[in-house]
Amino acid sequence: MTTIHDAEVRLEFRDDTPIAVFYRDRTWQVLDAPTRLGPSDELLCSPLVTHPPTEWSGWRFIARDDHGETLTFDLRQRGRTWDVIRTYR
């Protein structure tokens, strides 16, 4: 998993769902229904699994800025901050 640490990321939520993201000095409006990322609380692992995945929370969504550029964002929450895992064009 590649994490980009060179940009401040802030999310705006409505009803616990992202509606906008501030990334690289631009505000991006979410266009689709965001998808949760990360292992669910209901993840069951076999007792044979010696290193189960660590819990983390994230989102994937498509967003557009004021200039019309569109990106798909994969974001991961770390405490009160957010990391950009990846963006896709």
- How confident is the model over 29-56, as pLDDT tens digits? 999 999 988 765 555 556 676 765 566 6
Task: Out of 9-13, 20-24, 65-69, 84-88, pick the least confident.
Answer: 84-88
CA 29 to the chain's CA centroid: 14
Residues 6+ apart with CB under 8 A from 56: 38, 39, 76, 77, 78
Higher pLDDT, 45 or 21: 21
In a domain, residue 44? The reply is no
In a domain, residue 21? The reply is yes
Average pLDDT of the chain, as a whole number: 83
In a domain, residue 45? The reply is no
In a domain, residue 46? The reply is no
In a domain, residue 22? The reply is yes
Count of structural domains within the chain:
1
In a domain, residue 42? The reply is no
Q: What does the DSSP assignment read for 3-50?
A: -B-SS-EEEEEETTEEEEEEETTEEEEE-S--EEES--TT----TT-S
For 64, the domain range is: 9-37+54-88
If you average pLDDT over residues 69-77, what whole number do you get?
93
Sign, CA dihedral 44-49-54-57, equals negative
